[in-house]
Chain A
Amino acid sequence: MHIPDGFLDTRTILTTSAISAGALYVAVRKINQHFSPYKVPLMGVLASFAFVAQLLAFPVVGGTSAHITGAVLLAVILGPYTSLVIIALILVLQALLFQHGGILTLGANVLNLGVMGSLLGYLIYRIKRNFLMAGVASFLALVAGGVCGAAELAISGRLPFHAAVISMTSAQAITGVVEGFVTFSVLAVIQSVRPDLLSLEKI
């Protein structure tokens, strides 16, 4: 769920923007410390991959559909900080080109999907580095993002907290099941076709 402009109040916009900007600053610095020129096309093309993958709608119960974010997938392949930067850039492009999410709410969306997806998701994945755990991490990261989103909407006074939590988390949980399944099976495909892709430098 990408929060559009107009759904958050000024205070929430400023707080979430500050948190996300801080996280992104750290991430860009980490990437630059371990920079090698081949990373630019690698990040660029894999970011386009995630951008395209997000357009694929997986059918869910009752005519609704969900799309994946790929945050944990990218974190497992490229590392959490690289994944965070890619997710943030994708959110910028989605806001600009599809009006999917807003500009002032970018901070909130980066927090919900990027910081929770890439960083928290990777932390969970690190508990036990296998594909199943990556799937579980994708699910949990999305649910955590849903709780964050609910808190942002509630603090902005758009919805009472319990209603926001119930609706956001259940929506994210459904998406999370799809995301977990896809993360697991995509990693399995990579393992069987190009296993060397899973041992790139992770930052």
Chain B
Amino acid sequence: MRHSFLDKYSDLDSPLHRMDLRLKLGAFLALLIVFAAVPMYWEVVVAALILLTGLFLLAGIPLQYVARRALVILPFLLFIIVFIPLFQEQTWLVAWHTFARAVCSVLTLILFVSTTRFVVLLQMLDELGMPRMIVQVLSFIYRFFFVLIGELERMELASRARAPRRGKMYYYKALSRMLGMLIIRSYERSERVYQAMQLRGYDSEGTDA
């Protein structure tokens, strides 16, 4: 399988990785709120970018990786820019503010997930009183994500081996059938997993996060 773990770099060691999680969560939420509410004059943006870059360097996360992950906001940004002609004078300002807010927020998010292990985050959600069911389902998603990706890749390989390159309509049908089979296999897997959990004394209250 050719996936990497989703919270890549979260197992590094740096002051940011070691920071108390509640404090860190609070600080990050505060940053996000600031980026959503404060008018983004260019001085503010430059200060924010310097701060975030400094934190990334402190955490030892490659800036190239950060830049690549930050690109996801581009489609939305284009979406705003494309409709600029319909606006009047203020347009470029609005587009710029939105862009600056989005970039700063995305960088903040990347910094948070890259310095926090997912399992630890779940543990904290549990301690903070999040319903146990939610925490358990989240940990299931994270765990079985990789398993199901593997399952899907095997199905795709099998389908390509049997029917290489057909028309688009065929592709649609094949992909839908694959999804159908994936959901059935997922269901059957959940039955087996539940039996295994029961055998090991699972009672739905167990801390499995």
**Chain A residues close to B by CB (< 8 Å):** 1, 3-10, 13, 28, 31-32, 35, 37-49, 51-53, 55-56, 58-59, 68, 73, 77, 85-86, 89-90, 92-93, 95-100, 102-104, 157-160, 162-164, 167, 181-182, 185-190, 193-194, 197
Tally A-B pairs: CB < 8 A.
222
Which residues of the other chain, A, contact B182 by a CB distance below 8 angstroms? Answer: 49, 52-53
User: A43 vs B133: C-alpha distance in the bound complex, in angstroms?
Assistant: 10
Q: When the two chains form their complex, are residues A98 and B72 in contact, meaning their CB atoms are under 8 A apart?
A: yes
Task: State whether A45 and B35 are in contact (beta carbons under 8 Å apart), knowing that A35-B204, A163-B86 are contacts in the complex.
Answer: no
Residues of B within 8 A of A (CB): 6-7, 29, 32-33, 35-37, 69-70, 72-73, 76, 79-80, 82-83, 86-87, 94, 98-106, 109-110, 112-113, 118, 131, 133-134, 136-145, 147-149, 152, 168, 171-173, 175-177, 179-184, 186-187, 189-191, 193-194, 197-198, 202-204
The reply to whether B94 and A157 form a contact with Cβ atoms under 8 Å apart is yes
Please state if B83 and A167 are interface contacts (CB–CB under 8 Å). yes
Smallest CB–CB gap between B29 and chain A, Å? Answer: 8
Q: Are A51 and B145 in contact (CB under 8 A)?
A: yes
Which residue of the partner chain, among A1, A103, A189, contacts B181 with CB atoms under 8 Å? A189
Closest to B182 in A: A49
The CB with the most chain A CB atoms within 10 A, among B33, B35, B194, is that of B194
